[in-house]
Amino acid sequence: RAATIQAYALARAELERGLADGLRNAAPEQQGDVRDLPPAVILDVDETVLDNSPYQGWLAQEGRRFEPATWSAWVEARQARAIAGAVEFTRYAASKGVTVFYVSNRDVSGEAATRANLEALGFPINPDVDTVLLKNEKPDWGSAKGTRRAAVAAGYRIVMLVGDALGDFTDSYKGTIDERAAVVEQAGDAWGSRWILIPNPMYGAWEDAAAGGSAETPAAHEAALLKAAAAWGGPN
């Protein structure tokens, strides 16, 4: 909780800098002169603004891994809570005239439930613009988010990206641990200024990168992650 409050406090401070700097843009897909475009921020949804730990807790209790059917049931239940600091940041951004976009890999079939969950928690939803951009909403809107960032960039200056996974910032998120680390290094000073990372220790593409995508059961998956870790050699 403290880590996300801290991250969103940084996001607020950097948003002020980004608004003052008319040339700042955060999306790799945004090119050209952006000075005359209205400002926007893009946030991921799950584990960035919505806390799905009750679903993760249920999976752990049942000894199960993520499944589309149970996930869809959770989405429709509309019981996700707000990540600490997220509501305050998004409402602050909106108060500054920034359009807040939510770009999520939730399937479009859950859009009504997702919107209702966000609105019930106090997240700003622009009634005049489609700001909840979900996977499969358009034919080329797949798991990679670049096409959706590009759609926003066509009409807005994207001042900041906020997410919990590498794919929330760049489409170069797949690969081995070393390949992903290289992408992170190449981003340089984007981290902590234009790109704000929210910690997510529960799941992510890093799991498959570490475990090799071969573990099917929760226990085997955890064991594979531990074996893949950079372990201590032990006492001499």
Q: What is the dihedral of CA 166, 162, 116, 75, to 10 degrees?
A: 20
3-state helix, strand, coil in the chain (%, to 5): 45, 15, 40
pLDDT tens string 30-75? 999 999 999 999 999 999 999 999 999 999 899 988 999 999 999 9
Q: Please report the pLDDT score of residue 178 as a whole number.
A: 87
Q: For 53-62, 177-186, 217-226, which range has the lowest pLDDT when averaged over its residues? A: 217-226
pLDDT tens string 76-107? 999 999 999 999 999 999 999 999 999 999 99
- C-alpha 167: how far from chain center: 8
> pLDDT band for position 205 (50/70/90)?
low
206-221: average pLDDT? 58
- The tally of CA atoms less than 13 A away on the side-chain side of residue 58 is 9
Residue type, 102: Y
Domains for the chain: give ranges and CATH numbers: 2-203 (3.40.50.1000)
pLDDT tens string 190-201? 999 999 999 987
Residue whose pair of structure tokens reads 């234009």 in the numeric block: 194
This prediction has a pTM of: 0.87
For the chain, what is the mean pLDDT? 90
